[in-house]
């Protein structure tokens, strides 16, 4: 029996089970199941996550997904992107759509999710993970090894499902997760995504 089969045999049917999966390996059913959870976890953005559209801005390249049976109960997306910080071009793993199903929030799934996001960032060999988070949720990331970039303004193209993507700027809420590969110091200056975020 493989390790995966042995672990599946000892799990209770509805115990959340995490996998990390490449975007190209997802089927239509997977996209629909992810979108259904994201629309519940982000009710203000539910209009993005319709049917099989399981992303709002940049489509990720890797997903960390937890399922209970067939139901998706936790999710994060990661995509490698070059950003410009000040005068420096820098590879980052953009992390987004981090969410736990509302009925399971506060049970520790979010922490497990971020540990697997760390592993995904290591797998992608990026020097930094990067994301934007609202003030209310920043303590969650800080507790799990993310660092707040003080005094940094980030510029990115707004999410759009149906029209022109305008440039928006945000002068707070940018967090980074130093990776385990050899990396430079985070450069000084504004953060230019030159496109959308995951
Ligand atoms: C943010 C979110 C992913 C956290 O997942 P979770 O399963 O609820 O988190 P956990 O149960 O693993 O909590 C881990 C720790 O972070 C803390 N935490 C979780 N959410 C927090 C929040 N919004 N603010 C402050 N601390 C928070 C918990 O208190 C817990 O700390 P403890 O172990 O000392 O009790 C989840 O609440 C969620 O999906 N929220 C809605 C979507 C969202 O805002 N996503 C973030 C987008 S940037």
Over range 59-83, report the average pLDDT: 97
CA dihedral of residues 27, 122, 126, 96 (deg, nearest 10): 50
116's tokens: 């697997």
pLDDT for residue 180: 85
Distance 75 CA to ligand 1 centre (A): 13
Does any ligand 1 atom lie closer than 6 A to the CB of residue 189? no
Quote the tokens at residue 71: 């139901």
* pLDDT computed for residue 165 by the predictor: 84
| 131 Cα nearest atom in ligand 1 | 48
Q: Is 116 left (phi over 0), alpha (psi -120 to 50) or beta?
A: alpha
Q: Which residues contact 48 (CB under 8 A, 6 or more apart)?
A: 38, 39, 42, 55, 56, 159, 161
Are 60 and 77 in contact by the 8 Å Cβ rule? The answer is: yes
What integer pLDDT is reported at residue 177 of this predicted model?
97
Q: Is residue 38 within 6 Å of ligand 1 at its C-beta?
A: no
- Asked whether 114 lines ligand 1 (CB < 6 A), one says no
Which atom in ligand 1 lies closest to the alpha carbon of residue 141? 16
Is the Cβ atom of 108 under 6 angstroms away from ligand 1? yes
Query: In a mutational test of the pocket of ligand 1, which residue from 113, 137, 146, 173 has the highest number of ligand atoms less than 8 Å from its CB?
Result: 137
For the chain, domains (ranges, CATH) are 3-192 (3.40.630.30)
The per-residue pLDDT for range 137-158, each reduced to its tens digit, is 999 999 999 999 999 999 999 9
Mean pLDDT, rounded, for 107-120 = 98
> Per-residue pLDDT for 193 more than 70?
yes
Q: How confident is the model at residue 117 (pLDDT cuts 50, 70, 90)?
A: very high
Beta carbons within 10 angstroms of residue 147's beta carbon = 14
Is pLDDT at 3 greater than 80 in this prediction?
A: no
CA–centroid distance, 111 to ligand 1, in Å, is 8
User: How confident is the model over 33-53, as pLDDT tens digits?
Assistant: 999 999 999 999 999 999 999
Positive or negative, the CA dihedral 175, 156, 95, 51 is positive
Give the residue-averaged pLDDT of 9-27: 88
Has residue 2 got a pLDDT over 60?
A: no
- Whether the CB-CB separation of 109 and 155 falls below 8 Å is answered with no
Assign 95 to helix, strand or coil. strand
- Inform me whether the pLDDT recorded for 129 exceeds 60: yes
């Amino acid at each position: 029996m493989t390790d995966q089969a042995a672990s599946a045999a000892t799990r209770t049917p509805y115990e959340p089970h995490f996998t990390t999966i490449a975007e190209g390996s997802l089927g239509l059913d997977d996209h629909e199941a992810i979108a259904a959870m994201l629309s519940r976890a982000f009710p203000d953005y539910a209009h993005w996550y319709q049917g099989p559209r399981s992303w709002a801005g940049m489509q990720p390249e890797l997903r960390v997904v937890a399922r209970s049976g067939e139901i998706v109960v936790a999710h994060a997306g990661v995509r490698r992107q070059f950003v410009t910080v000040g005068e420096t071009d820098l590879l980052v793993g953009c992390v987004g759509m981090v969410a736990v199903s509302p009925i399971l929030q506060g049970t520790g799934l979010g922490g497990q999710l971020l540990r697997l996001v760390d592993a995904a960032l290591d797998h992608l060999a990026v020097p930094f993970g990067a994301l934007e988070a609202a003030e209310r949720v920043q303590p969650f990331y800080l507790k799990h090894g993310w660092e707040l970039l003080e005094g940094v303004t980030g510029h990115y193209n707004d999410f759009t499902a149906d029209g022109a993507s305008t440039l928006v700027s945000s002068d707070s809420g940018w967090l980074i997760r130093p990776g385990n590969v050899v990396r430079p110091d985070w450069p000084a200056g504004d953060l230019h995504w030159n496109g959308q975020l995951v």
